Amino acid sequence: MPNSPLVVFDLDGTLADTAEDLIAILNQLLEEERMETMPTSEAGALIGAGARALISRGFARAGAELAPEKLEALFEVFLERYAANICTETRLYPGALEAMDRLSAEGYGLAVCTNKPERHSLLLLEALGVLGRFRAIAGRDTFPFFKPDPRHLTLTIDRAGGDAARSVMIGDSLTDITTAKAAGVPVIAVPFGYTDRPVAELGPDLLIEHFDELADAVARVMAGR
């Protein structure tokens, strides 16, 4: 229902472990350019700022700086290949489904705010069987702004019929934490996602170790508001 409290999730590295599928497409591009491929363990330093950044970072770590026109060409190839292989190895993190069930039962609305393109976000959430759970799904290209611009989050909240004063962000990275803080929205971090620094060092309002803890953590944050 409108005006209920809202929980806004990041997608990659927060709700879903997408690293293997993303790195697989990146490695296809690297192999075709005769560059060294990346292990999935590098995901923390590569994923989180969108596909262009993933490609640019991946090629930079392999020793190549991409010209803008080359990056755009590889970006278009990446988008189509990833759309065709959106959920080969990707899975929801343990406990995520149960946490969403509990939050919904307790009266929270759910939304997604991600730097993944909207098309891929919708395809992935549908493939994972959870698309219909969210009141709004905002990707990198949904609005003129994307994380860490706080308007990405506040516009997602608006689209979901929520209120920033009664919302909380769930994320795994500095991008999520920076976005939420700039928007005046408390942020709960998960440590199992994609970050090149321990997320506990990045200043979230709360840190949970497993989605089993999420509903209680959200209640604590909301009570503090």
Q: Is the peptide bond before 144 cis (omega within 30 degrees of 0)?
A: no
DSSP 116: S
- What type of residue is 32? E
Q: Which of 216, 217, 188, 219 is nearest to 204 (CA)?
A: 188
66 close to 59: Cβ distance less than 8 angstroms: yes
Token pair of 204, please? 């979230």
Provide the annotated active-site residues: 10
Residue 138 DSSP class:
E
Sheet holding 6-9, edge to edge: 136-138, 109-113, 6-9, 167-171, 187-189, 206-207
User: How far is 146 from 179, CA to CA, in rounded Å?
Assistant: 9
Measured between alpha carbons, how far is 7 from 25 in angstroms, rounded to an integer?
A: 31
| Angle between the N-to-C axes of helices 150-159 and 174-183, in degrees from 0 to 180, rounded to the nearest 10 | 70
Report the C-alpha gap between 73 and 120 in whole angstroms. Answer: 18
